[in-house]
Structure formats: structure tokens, C-alpha cells
């Protein structure tokens, strides 16, 4: 089940595609050692959480008004999906001094039914200093 992250060493390349290692990139955000400073950083950490099946990070980084149930998200993570690549296309606002922002991205994965490409414009809000995923428009 997806209640805790799949083991991935801190010196492994971060799944988010930043080019950095997990321990210097998304790892500390997933482990709650630091907050994502920007909407893009939260987006990258959420992609990494999908890749390593970190249900807890996905739930706590999802705005409570739009978050799926724990059961629905766990069922989604239980599917055999291998996340291959994240491409960030653009961001608007979402910086350390903003309260809202968007991240346009493409996530590529491979599952039981073949390759999948998800293009999305995601909206993020910052509440009490914490970035949260609000929702996204998928093309």
C-alpha cells in the first residue's frame, strides 16, 4: 500500500527532473524537514510523491477543499504506474512572497495500459506560509 514512501536514497537523482539529488531537492519537503518555498517546488515534490507513492505528502499538500479521500487516493496510487518524466513549461506568480500561483507541466508515465501524457495547468495557494495544491485543468 502507499502509506509511506518507497525507499529511495538521498543520493539518487530526484524524480522531479530538477537534475539534483533527492536529498537536496524534494526529499526534505517530503520528510517535512522544510517547506516548499514556491508553488513550483511544491509541484515538483508532489510529482516525486506520486513517483515514490508517498500518500501522506500528497494528502497534506492538497488543499482540504479539493482533496480526494484517503481511500480514493490510496486506490489511485495502488495502480502499477511508473512515472517517467516531469516537464515544467511555465509558472505564474507562486514565489516566496505570493499567495497564489500556477504551474503548467507535462507528466509522462507508463502503466498497465501503456504510456500516458498528462498536460495540466495547476493552481496553488499559500495559506499560513504553506503552499497547497488547489486544483488543475487537464488537457
Measured CA to CA, the distance from residue 86 to residue 89 in angstroms comes to 10
- Contact in structure between 139 and 76 (CB atoms under 8 Å): no
Instruction: Quote the CA–CA distance of 102 and 124 in Å, as a whole number.
Output: 6
Domains of the chain (ranges plus CATH)? 22-138 (3.10.450.50)
Compute the distance between CA of residue 82 and CA of residue 109 in angstroms, rounded to an integer. Answer: 6
In this prediction, residue 62 carries a pLDDT of 98
Q: How far is Cα 69 from Cα 85, in angstroms, rounded to an integer? A: 26
Residue ranges of the chain whose pLDDT lies below 70: 1-7
Averaged pLDDT score across all residues of the chain: 94
- Enter the pTM of the model: 0.93
- The enclosing H or E element of 42 equals helix 39-52
Amino acid at each position: 500500500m502507499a502509506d509511506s514512501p518507497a525507499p529511495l536514497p538521498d543520493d539518487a537523482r530526484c524524480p522531479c527532473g530538477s537534475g539534483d539529488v533527492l536529498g537536496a531537492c524534494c526529499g526534505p519537503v517530503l520528510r517535512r524537514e522544510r517547506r516548499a518555498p514556491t508553488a513550483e517546488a511544491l509541484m515538483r515534490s508532489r510529482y516525486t510523491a506520486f513517483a515514490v507513492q508517498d500518500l501522506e505528502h500528497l494528502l497534506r499538500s492538497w488543499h482540504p477543499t479539493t482533496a480526494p479521500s484517503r481511500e480514493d487516493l490510496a486506490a489511485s496510487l495502488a495502480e502499477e504506474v511508473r512515472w517517467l518524466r516531469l516537464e515544467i513549461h511555465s509558472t505564474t506568480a507562486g514565489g516566496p512572497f505570493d499567495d497564489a500561483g500556477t504551474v503548467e507541466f507535462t507528466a509522462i508515465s507508463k502503466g498497465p495500459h501503456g504510456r500516458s501524457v498528462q498536460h495540466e495547468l495547476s493552481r496553488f495557494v499559500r495559506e499560513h506560509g504553506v503552499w497547497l495544491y488547489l486544483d488543475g485543468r487537464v488537457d
